[in-house]
Structures are given as structure tokens and as C-alpha cells.
């Protein structure tokens, strides 16, 4: 009985220590934030930057519109697809931000042992409707 109690206390203490960040980790994290203050550090920051970059969705034809996959689901694949107007943005910057977001979400999923329902996000159809790039509703009729 005493050995079981001792074992339980030892496990509880170990788990408590594992949850506490070390001083070196805190210092490294703070210095990394200072070194890269100009770069987004959170998933929310990246999403805001991407949404601001693709805000102008004006177009003339369907070929002016494109899709970008954003984020990373725990089981693989993107969290979503966003439509943008190719002629109105720096696509290299958009691809870079999307890659950073995917990398950060994959790390978050691994670090936090995130699980999901493993549904694949379907790639939507897009088009230029009333001079705005938009996702097109696609309906499948059951016969």
C-alpha cells in the first residue's frame, strides 16, 4: 500500500515538473520574439495578414481568380481554401505567409496532440462574379 502511494506521489510530482517551463526556455522564447518582432508570431497574426493581403478581390475574368490552401488539419490537408485576385497582390508574399501558417499549425497540432475528425476540406470552385473573385456554390444532385 505504501509503495503504491509513493509511486502515485512520484508520478504526480514528475508530471507537475514536466508542465513547468524552464528558465532557459523562457529566455530563448523572449529573445526569439525580440529578434523577429516584424514577423507574425501567432496563427491569428498570420491569418490577419493573409486576409488583409487578399482583401481586394476585384477581377475582370475567371482567370484573374485563384485559390490558396490555408492551415493544416491534424490528419493532414488544409483547414480551408481562400479565394483571391491574382492581379491585385504579391503572390510570393501570400505563398510565404500561407507556408508559415501551415508550418505553425502543424507544429501546434503536434505539440498539443490535436486530434480531428479527419474530414478532407473539398477544394471549392471559384469565379469572377460581378467583378469580385468568389467561391462558387457547387451542388450535387442525387438521382
pLDDT of residue 40: 52
Is 20 inside a domain boundary? no
pTM for the whole thing? 0.67
The rounded distance, in Å, linking the Cα atoms of 143 and 55 is: 39
Q: Does the pLDDT at position 34 exceed 80?
A: no
Domain count of the fold of the chain = 1
Is 127 inside a domain boundary? yes
Q: Do 85 and 96 touch, CB atoms closer than 8 A? A: no
Is 126 inside a domain boundary? yes
Residue 113: domain span: 41-136
pLDDT of residue 117: 79
Amino acid at each position: 500500500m505504501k509503495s503504491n502511494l509513493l509511486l502515485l506521489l512520484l508520478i504526480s510530482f514528475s508530471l507537475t515538473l514536466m508542465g513547468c517551463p524552464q528558465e532557459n526556455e523562457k529566455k530563448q522564447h523572449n529573445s526569439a520574439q525580440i529578434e523577429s518582432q516584424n514577423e507574425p508570431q501567432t496563427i491569428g497574426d498570420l491569418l490577419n495578414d493573409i486576409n488583409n493581403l487578399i482583401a481586394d478581390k476585384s477581377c475582370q475574368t475567371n482567370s484573374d481568380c485563384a485559390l490558396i490552401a490555408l492551415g493544416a488539419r491534424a490528419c493532414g490537408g488544409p483547414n480551408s481554401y481562400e479565394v483571391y485576385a491574382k492581379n491585385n497582390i504579391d503572390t510570393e508574399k501570400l505563398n510565404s505567409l500561407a507556408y508559415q501558417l501551415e508550418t505553425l499549425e502543424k507544429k501546434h497540432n503536434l505539440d498539443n496532440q490535436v486530434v480531428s475528425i479527419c474530414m478532407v476540406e473539398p477544394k471549392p470552385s471559384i469565379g469572377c462574379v460581378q467583378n469580385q473573385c468568389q467561391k462558387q456554390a457547387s451542388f450535387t444532385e442525387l438521382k
